[in-house]
């Protein structure tokens, strides 16, 4: 079961990265990790650094974006801040996008790209 879920997540990330490239973004990294957490995709939209959280589902029983709750947003904010610092990009604008990928069995994938899905959080 975990292998199927991992494969579905990997497929979603592949589709999301291709989607971003088709839009003209430069995909800088995938599964970028640091001591705080992981960023599924890091892309550049011009000078703007885009931290992308990819949520993939095989059914639409629950909207994937609902999994990016306040706690997850906070962790993504901290992870992205450390990433920017280590890259020397602290002065660049940062945006958080969520890409929902629905991969129904036997059907074509559906991609929903939510630009500026949330603002950086501070607690």
**Residue 8: HSE in the Cβ half-sphere, 13 Å Cα cutoff:** 17
Q: Which domain holds residue 45?
A: 2-118
CATH code, 85:
3.40.1350.10
pLDDT tens track of the chain, all 123 residues?
567 778 888 999 999 999 999 999 999 999 999 999 999 999 999 999 999 999 998 876 667 677 889 999 999 999 999 999 999 999 999 999 999 999 888 889 999 999 999 999 764
In a domain, 123, yes or no: no
User: What is the count of structural domains for the chain?
Assistant: 1
- Stated pTM of the model: 0.91
Tell which residue, 54, 69, 50, 53, has the closest CA to residue 8.
54
């Amino acid at each position: 079961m975990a292998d199927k879920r991992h494969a579905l997540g990997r497929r979603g990330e592949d589709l999301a990265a291709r989607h971003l490239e088709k839009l003209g973004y430069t995909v800088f990294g995938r599964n970028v990790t640091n001591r705080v957490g992981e960023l599924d995709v890091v892309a550049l939209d011009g000078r703007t650094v885009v931290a992308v959280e990819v949520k993939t589902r095989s059914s639409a029983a629950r909207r994937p974006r609902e999994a990016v709750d306040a706690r997850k947003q906070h962790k993504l904010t901290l992870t992205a801040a450390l990433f920017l610092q280590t890259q020397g990009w602290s002065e660049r604008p940062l945006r958080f996008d969520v890409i929902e990928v629905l991969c129904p069995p036997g059907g074509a994938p559906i991609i929903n790209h939510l630009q500026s899905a949330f603002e950086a959080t501070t607690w």
